[in-house]
Chains A and B, each alone.
Chain A
Amino acid sequence: MSRSIDRDNQRFRSIVRGKVRQNLRKYITNGEMIGRKGRELVSIPVPNIDIPHFRHGDKGSGGVGQGEGDVGQPVGGRPGDGDGKGQAGDQPGAHLREVEISLDELAQMLGEELELPNVQPKGAENLKSVKSKYNSIRQTGPNSLRHFKRTYKQALKRMIAAKEYDPRRPMILPNREDERFRSWNDVSLPVANAAIVYIMDVSGSMTDDQKDIVRTEAFWIDTWLRRQYDGLQRRYVVHDAVAHEVDEDTFYRIRESGGTRISSAYEKTVQILERDFPPADWNLYVFQFSDGDNWGDDTNRCNQLLTEYMLPICNLFCYGQVHSPYGSGEFIKKLQPLGEEWENLILSDIPDHDAIYDSIKLFLGTGR
């Protein structure tokens, strides 16, 4: 039953979503919502949306309470909390409302905000997914699928044919043979699949702050690409002087030290791609994050792996360079000549959290 409160509730939700949209840039850069991710929904803290009144501030205000305690002891909390009628406020920290938004919707907002083009997938004709469509009629089936109108018509026809129908007393009695049921056909739909490999440098020069940037950026890339593809596979590679494939959780938590050989990670990535994702069927994305510090002559090997293996088969190869207090930041310069040659190699410099926004736009703005 549709109730009037549902309409009010819908309206309220759309106002809240408007707020989220307005502040999306803030949410993108501070990354606090990643920790709040469920399977399908993210909950986002939104400052309480309220109608303003002339009311008292904190200064000089107070109240009366009940209980033990000496003069000077803090009473804790804010007076009026939970009452709804007290002196409610919306100072930072207090009265935040959690809104749940589906990842899909979030991606849509992101797309609109960053003006991201939809991805043109490749290999769509290769993979099929089977879907049931209810578009036919059968004579048997469960009652839940009974097609009332068809059944009625059938019964009417039969009764008229059998001269049982009396127009003055138009009663229709369907029997077992008259019943019609909805039925389905299997329809195969072309589906584009995609795989992302995230590579992160976890050598000693990457600090927690840099990893946080990577985390935030990876979250948004995930969110966007998940909307673009039905099946999205993710792989994670961390490296210092050697590379390991790890799960998502480890990827964000691991802390290593030691030197840096980026080629080790590339080799690992090539292995993964060859093993799991034949390029003919998959849209492949590689996102690499590093502070740009690499071991001496290793860069040549990297160039070779990129040009020979990865760039020809990947939709996108994105390299994001974060600034660490220790890194030299050389690597991005070394890649620059390649970037001019290959359209699908995107390079982005991410000095701080604020740059995440533009970096995402750069990475995903190509529509590949």
Chain B
Amino acid sequence: MSLGIARPLPQELVDVQAEMEALAAGYGLDFFETIFEMVDYEEMSMLAAYGGFPIRYPHWRFGAQYEELSRGYSYGLQKIYEMVINTDPCYAYLLNNNELVDQKLVIAHVYGHCDFFKCNAWFGGTNRRMLDQMANHAARVNRYIDRYGYEKVEEFIDACLSLEDLIDPHSVHIRRREESQTGPRSQLHRPSEEETSSGRFPSKNYMEEFINPPDVLRKQAEDKARKHRELSESRRFPDDPQRDVLLFLLEHAPLDEWQHDLLAIIRDEAYYFAPQGQTKIMNEGWASYWHSTLMTRHGLTDSELVCYAEHHSGTMASSPNRLNPYKLGIELFRDIEDRWNKGQFGPEWEQCDDLVAKEKWDRQVGLGREKIFEVRRIHNDLTFIDTFLTTDFCARQKMFSFAFNESAEQYEIASREFVQIKQQLLAALTNHGRPFIYLVDGNHKNRGELYLSHDYQGIELKQDEAHDTLINLHKLWSRPVHIETVVDDEPTVLSWDGHSHEVTQK
């Protein structure tokens, strides 16, 4: 599929690509066919704003992103070297005025990404034909715009996007419930068994009074009615709290057909992009590991060394208030490789208290390369950090945790203790640093109101934004909506009924 804007590679880059591809494959990287295209910066900004896809549905936020990127570039603040998307075949875009050494590095880097996309388990459920799917989404949205008007569609998309992170990223890999046979909407009207059977035994006429005594029957009927009443009073809907709020809305919100379709589109795309958020550190670390390996061992010529070093160190730069995923990822992969090469793992290593022995520990087992390939296959950022972050590593990388100091109204270094750092890092990675929101009740107070719950883990919601999000949720649900959370250390319910906000302490 041609993207219409891109130009084919010049011959010297075709050669570089062939070289890098052969080298990468030689190291055991496993990737889809990768197609490189040259774009200028405007086009690169556009692709980046579109999340890597040449065709997306019309929406102003892409325009906002584009403006930021292209302005950032023209002011010399930032530059995107490459863009690669998770599809089969894999498409990668190169910036056309990069120097040759930059292009080499970037091509090597891209092969790292491609391998990761193909082999990492968390990407297993993604649609590899997303290029087509995105174009299809765009066509559908454009059709609705033609039919219902730009602003109406835009307003609805805005409302959906406001909720786009209310999905269940793990549901791709687990079956949470039986797929309903009859399609989603009919669930509401499932006739209950109690209504159909009456508890009466078959009998001959003259025996009726004895086999089915009227008073017993009456009592049974009353019991049943009571039970039924109790059940329906106590029963919440859905039965268990549900993370995929979007799915619930798709199934139960009173939406028009076009709205239903738009919401499905937003949800689809949210699920497609979710694994990239879950594996940022690993993905960038893995790609950096491979560009570094391929370039320093094979690709570089003498004259390119300084340029390469500058580019590489620029990418790896860390700052106090932002952990660089490239840096953390590559260092952790190298640390794992080193440890497994020297055999620094297993019970014997864990139980060894002799620091000197640990320092010199080298069993020459040489399992490093094999281990990192395994790691890139099965882990995501959360489990990666949880499993492989060590005290030594934190100290070597000068890591610290910081926290918001309310009295000083600024972020301050809170600790250099391994336990705190790890805890903080895991907290930030869990659910991509977003709050856990569950859908608890779709028929709150038996009045069809929607009740969400924020699983409070010590960080409160940003209230003004939560209010605005509730307003958007209400646009979909059209009955009052609530979210249970914690405000100023008190359990609180925020509500929006379509006209006014309400904040009630529980």
Contacts and interface: CB of A to CB of B under 8 A. Distances in A.
Given A57-B463, A64-B425, A12 B63 contact: yes
A51 B324 contact: no
A76 B321 contact: yes
A64 B421 contact: yes
A63 B58 contact: no
A80 B325 CA distance: 12
Interface in B253-297: 277, 280
Interface string A1-16: 0011101111111010
A85 B65 CA distance: 13
Nearest to A13: B63
A83 B322 contact: yes
A55 interface: yes
Interface string B60-80: 111110110000000000000
A339 B483 CA distance: 61
Nearest to A76: B321
Interface stretch (B109-117, B217-225, B392-400): B392-400
A5 B461 contact: no
A63 B45 CA distance: 29
Contacts of B61: 8, 12, 51
A52 B472 contact: yes
Interface of A, secondary structure class, is loop
A63 B428 contact: yes
A79 interface: yes
A298 interface: no
Interface string A83-118: 101110100000000000000000000000000000
A70 B63 contact: no
Residue among A10, A58, A59, A63 facing the most chain B CB atoms (10 A cut-off): A63
A26 B66 CA distance: 28
B60 A15 contact: yes
A77 B404 CA distance: 11
Interface stretch (B88-96, B349-357, B433-441): B433-441
Contacts of B414: 62, 71
B320 A67 contact: yes
Nearest to B163: A53
Interface stretch (B174-182, B197-205, B371-379, B452-460): B452-460
A185 to B, nearest CB: 39
Contact of B402 (A5, A55, A63, A87): A63
* Interface range on chain B (Cβ under 8 Å from partner): 35 or more
Contacts of B410: 74-76
Contacts of A163: none
A52 B321 contact: no
A61 B457 CA distance: 10
A58 B465 CA distance: 13
B240 interface: no
B415 interface: yes
A53 B434 CA distance: 9
Contacts of A4: 55-56, 58
Given A52-B465, A65-B321, A5 B62 contact: yes
Nearest to B401: A64
B66 A8 contact: yes
Contact of B469 (A11, A52, A63): A52
A167 interface: no
A64 B389 CA distance: 13
A66 B318 contact: yes
Given A52-B468, A62-B411, A72-B412, A86 B322 contact: yes
A275 interface: no
A58 B466 CA distance: 14
Given A64-B402, A80-B322, A87 B433 contact: yes
B437 A59 contact: no
Interface string B319-331: 1111110011000
A68 interface: yes
B425 A51 contact: no
A45 to B, nearest CB: 15
A60 interface: yes
A268 B61 CA distance: 55
Given A5-B50, A65-B400, A56 B460 contact: yes
B403 A61 contact: yes
A78 interface: yes
A11 B63 contact: yes
A90 to B, nearest CB: 8
A57 B411 CA distance: 13
Nearest to B161: A51
A144 interface: no
A15 B64 CA distance: 10
A295 to B, nearest CB: 51
A12 B60 contact: yes
B450 to A, nearest CB: 14
B359 interface: no
Contacts of A3: 5, 46
Residue among A10, A12, A53, A69 facing the most chain B CB atoms (10 A cut-off): A53
A71 B415 contact: yes
Nearest to B142: A4
B33 interface: no
Contacts of A71: 400, 412-416
B383 interface: no
B281 to A, nearest CB: 11
Contact of A57 (B328, B403, B424, B459): B459
Nearest to B49: A5
A142 interface: no
A16 to B, nearest CB: 8
A9 B410 CA distance: 34
A15 B61 CA distance: 10
A49 interface: yes
Nearest to B399: A66
B454 A67 contact: no
B67 to A, nearest CB: 6
Contacts of A87: 433
Contacts of A10: 63
B408 interface: yes
Contacts of B324: 66
A81 interface: yes
B437 to A, nearest CB: 5
A8 B65 CA distance: 10
A105 to B, nearest CB: 17
A4 B49 CA distance: 11
B435 A56 contact: yes
Given A64-B401, A74-B410, A79 B322 contact: yes
Given A66-B319, A85-B277, 6 more contacts: A3-B5, A8-B62, A59-B460, A60-B403, A61-B404, A66-B323
Interface of A: 3-5, 7-13, 15, 49, 51-83, 85-87, 89
9 contacts: A5-B45, A13-B67, A52-B469, A56-B460, A56-B462, A58-B404, A60-B458, A63-B321, A82-B322
Which are the 3 A-B pairs with shortest beta-carbon distances? A8-B63, A62-B403, A52-B468
